[in-house]
Amino acid sequence: MKRLQDRVALVTGSSSGIGAAVAKSMAAEGAKVIVNYARSSKGAEAVVEEIKTAGGEAISIQADVSQEDQVKSMFLQTFEAYETIDILVNNAGLQKDAAFVNMTLDQWNTVIGVNLTGQFLCAREAAKEFMRRGVIPEKSCSAGSIICMSSVHEVIPWAGHCNYAASKGGVMLLMKSMAQELAPHKIRVNSIAPGAIKTPINRDAWDTPEAEAELLKLIPYNRVGIPEDIGKAAVWLASDEAEYVQGTTIFVDGGMTLYPGFATGG
């Protein structure tokens, strides 16, 4: 039996990057996957096709997670297709970088809207369904699992990215508070905090040898992460192997949070 056999997994923002890898990894473990996208229907269709070619099951659904009506509609479409949901991966996220004094309210609101409010809106719909349905012992020991995609920037301050760091700091306590409140319902809530992973969001930080060398100074393990590193962690965290893991952040960052500057200094 595969680790996520027959479970329905909604992965927001999975038309590319970390989300796409999580969607494919979960499908390979037997999950029926909803590939959510905001704008890139082409990217989402490609992920769905790849999953199907590998013998898995997936559909794509469009929704901007910062919009309540679109989130509700996405969950209704999910229930029409697969009746229920077992796993939510709150992955959709973006950056709108600016020096603090130049940051516009629009840049602030867009990042908080997708990265933080979007996680709230999706988690609320998933939790309602988990509570309504409860545990199905043949499928899983818990009533559902929510994985919040956070970042090392839930703890590492990030100049030039105040909106992003604030959104991920917010995700940390949103996740922990949900975990505390929902645990008695056997609903598991946790985060994954990726470090620098090679995706389109941070291409400038790794796509030339000079940039990659600079980035590696921040990574004790001396390798930039790849989306599959996060896919593997997400499968484990969603599976019953992690049943007793509740309200925690798993850092998958090659040691980026270990104050690398202190390896020789201090």
151 binds ligand BGC per the rule CB under 6 A? yes
250 binds ligand BGC per the rule CB under 6 A? no
Tokens of 15: 């038309």
152 binds ligand BGC per the rule CB under 6 A? yes
Compare residues 144 and 195 and give the one whose CB is closer to ligand BGC: 195
Candidates 37, 164, 244, 259; catalytic one: 164
| Helix orientation angle between 17-28 and 41-53, rounded to the nearest 10 degrees | 20
103 binds ligand BGC per the rule CB under 6 A? no
Is 164 a known active-site residue?
yes
| Helix orientation angle between 17-28 and 227-238, rounded to the nearest 10 degrees | 50
Minimum CB separation of residue 154 from ligand BGC in Å reads: 9
For residues 10-25, b (16+ Cβ closer than 10 Å) or e, as one string? bbbbbbbbbbbbbbbb
Compare residues 17 and 43 and give the one whose CB is closer to ligand BGC: 17
Compare residues 70 and 202 and give the one whose CB is closer to ligand BGC: 202
Minimum CB separation of residue 224 from ligand BGC in Å reads: 9
Compare residues 76 and 99 and give the one whose CB is closer to ligand BGC: 99
Q: Which of residues 153-192 bind ligand BGC (CB under 6 A)?
A: 153
Count of residues interacting with ligand BGC (CB under 6 A): 9
* Contact pick of 135, 136, 205, 245 for ligand BGC (by CB under 6 A): 205
245 binds ligand BGC per the rule CB under 6 A? no
Minimum CB separation of residue 230 from ligand BGC in Å reads: 11
* Contact pick of 20, 196, 230, 234 for ligand BGC (by CB under 6 A): 196
The DSSP bridge partners found for residue 10 are 34, 88
What's the 3-state SS for the chain?
CCCCCCCEEEECCCCCHHHHHHHHHHHHCCCEEEEEECCCHHHHHHHHHHHHHCCCEEEEEECCCCCHHHHHHHHHHHHHHHCCCCEEEECCCCCCCCCHHHCCHHHHHHHHHHHHHHHHHHHHHHHHHHHHHCCCCCCCCCCEEEEEECCHHHCCCCCCCHHHHHHHHHHHHHHHHHHHHHHHHCEEEEEEEECCECCHHHHHHCCCHHHHHHHHCCCCCCCCECHHHHHHHHHHHHCHHHCCCCCCEEEECCCCCCCHHHHCCC
- Which span (2-10, 78-86, 116-124, 149-157) binds ligand BGC, by CB under 6 A? 149-157
Compare residues 37 and 130 and give the one whose CB is closer to ligand BGC: 37
249 binds ligand BGC per the rule CB under 6 A? no
* Contact pick of 103, 201, 211, 216 for ligand BGC (by CB under 6 A): 201
* Contact pick of 13, 19, 195, 227 for ligand BGC (by CB under 6 A): 195
- What residues are annotated to the active site? 164
Positions that interact with ligand BGC (CB under 6 A): 95, 151-153, 195-196, 201-202, 205
